[in-house]
Structure 1
Amino acid sequence: MWKVVRQIAKTGICTEAAPDIGAIDAAQVARIQQELLDILGQALTIREVDAGSCNGCELEINALGNPYYNLQGLGIKFVASPRHADLLLVTGPVSRNMETALKRTYDATPEPKLVVAVGDCACDGGIFGESYATCGRVANVIPVDEVIPGCPPAPLEILRGILKAVRRRVVSQRSVGK
């Protein structure tokens, strides 16, 4: 037992430092909230779909809900039904068994819908590619508006990708004149 205590005292604390995302003040949060309201007229609602991933990306997506990133404080929330969603967040290479379910989820999402592919597997098939078991990337099954590469991408990159997809949709709607 003393050997373990000495090892603990010698090694010290071995945790990582919190990531530096810069100082986010109340003005920035209010600006993001107002931008989302201007774009959507409501809070952004997301339906997350695991199309066959290893759950690495899901862990990073779940981290967005902790107090450090405070996703709900920005007016963004996850919903259980695609019928209530504005955006689909898809992870993993699309397995053959999830192909129909992903298409049905996409069809059930009301217009205007956004699709964001999260992680290398969703963006380009990752190490799995296309095979007898997978359809490969998400874009092979449904249209994708934004891709967020990484294995897995950091929570901050996921948040940036979501906001980029929403902004891109607004710019395209303004250029069309809708």
Structure 2
Amino acid sequence: MATHLILQKIFKTGFVSEPAPQADLALRTREQVLHAEILKIFGQSVAIRHVDAGSCNGCEMEIHALNGPHYNIEGRGVRFVASPRHADLLLVTGPVSRNMEVALKRAYDATPEPKWVVAMGDCGCTGGMFGENYATRGKVSNVIPIDVEVPGCPPTPLALLQGILAAVSKGRTTA
């Protein structure tokens, strides 16, 4: 009996949600240009090793978004690897905690040449609100040399992708 009343209410009320928005073709064009730029710079592929040096995981959420179907970076030849020995680029997030300092240096040393390092987020670029203190070494460049900084708290996936492109294109022109 209650089901019948619920169905009557649904039919009487009708649709109350707004229609889906139309696609913005300008964004699609930009996406195609960005993917063409990725292929031009990377050539075949680039392997990224992500190192969380003590972040709050805000940047990691944006990295996951970059790996999602909207950006489809893996389909364009950008992939994340489990070992720095297989990486072309280190992507470091967070202020470098004292407990991660040695691990970050080892990951950097294990990455074969030519290698690039991208510091992601305000914490990775400047130390963020944590700065340098008893628990952190601060920004990534206090521990290892970096090629590109991608500021933001957290930076957007597009800004991250542009930072990766900047690092690799810089390396390709000088190598």
Query: What amino acid is aligned across from residue 41 of structure 2 in structure 1?
Result: E
CA distance in 1, matches of 2:23, 2:46: 27
CA-to-aligned-CA distance 1:77-133 (integer Å, 9 cap, x gap): 000000000000000000000000000000000001100000000000000000000
Seen in structure 2, the aligned counterparts of structure 1 residues 53 and 34 have a Cα distance that, compared at 3 Å, is same
CA distance in 1, matches of 2:161, 2:64: 12
What is the RMSD computed on CA atoms of the aligned residues? 2.8
- Please name the residue that 1:33 is paired with: 39
Identity between Structure 1 and Structure 2 (%): 59
CA distance in 2, matches of 1:134, 1:124: 12
Greater CA radius of gyration, 1 or 2? 2
CA distance in 2, matches of 1:114, 1:73: 21
CA-to-aligned-CA distance 1:116-160 (integer Å, 9 cap, x gap): 000000000000000000000000000000000000000000000
CA distance in 2, matches of 1:109, 1:131: 28
CA distance in 2, matches of 1:144, 1:30: 26
**SS of the residue aligned with 1:116?**
strand
Normalised by the size of structure 2, how large is the TM-score?
Answer: 0.82
Counterpart contact for 2:91–2:120, Cα < 8 Å: yes
Query: What amino acid is aligned across from residue 164 of structure 1 in structure 2?
Result: A
**SS of the residue aligned with 1:135?**
strand
- Please name the residue that 1:61 is paired with: 63
Seen in structure 2, the aligned counterparts of structure 1 residues 99 and 164 have a Cα distance that, compared at 3 Å, is same
- Consecutive aligned runs of 4 or more in structure 1 exceeding 4 Å deviation: 17-22
Confirm whether residue 91 of structure 1 aligns to residue 97 of structure 2: no
- Please name the residue that 2:123 is paired with: 121
Query: What amino acid is aligned across from residue 46 of structure 1 in structure 2?
Result: I
Query: What amino acid is aligned across from residue 125 of structure 2 in structure 1?
Result: C
